[in-house]
Amino acid sequence: MKVLITAGPTREAIDPVRYISNHSTGKMGIAIAEAFAAQGAQVTLVLGPTNLGSIKHGIEVVNVQTAADMYSACSALYDSCDIAVFSAAVADYTPKTVADQKVKKKEDSWNLELVKTVDIAKELGKRKTHQINVVFALETNNEEAHAIEKLRKKNADFVVLNSMQNPGAGFGFDTNKISIVDKDETITNFELKSKTAVAADIVQHALALLKH
**What order do you get walking across the sheet with 158-163 strand by strand?**
59-63, 42-47, 2-7, 83-86, 132-139, 158-163, 178-182, 187-189
Calpha distance 137→149 (Å, rounded): 10
What count of Cα atoms within 13 Å lies in the side-chain half-sphere of residue 109?
1
172 secondary structure, DSSP code: T
Look at residues 53, 50, 8, 11 and name the one whose alpha carbon lies nearest to residue 28. Answer: 8
Residues with a known catalytic role: 22
Long-range contacts of 35-40 (CB under 8 A, 24+ apart): 35/196, 35/199, 35/200, 35/202, 35/203, 36/3, 36/5, 36/83, 36/203, 39/1, 39/203, 39/207, 40/1
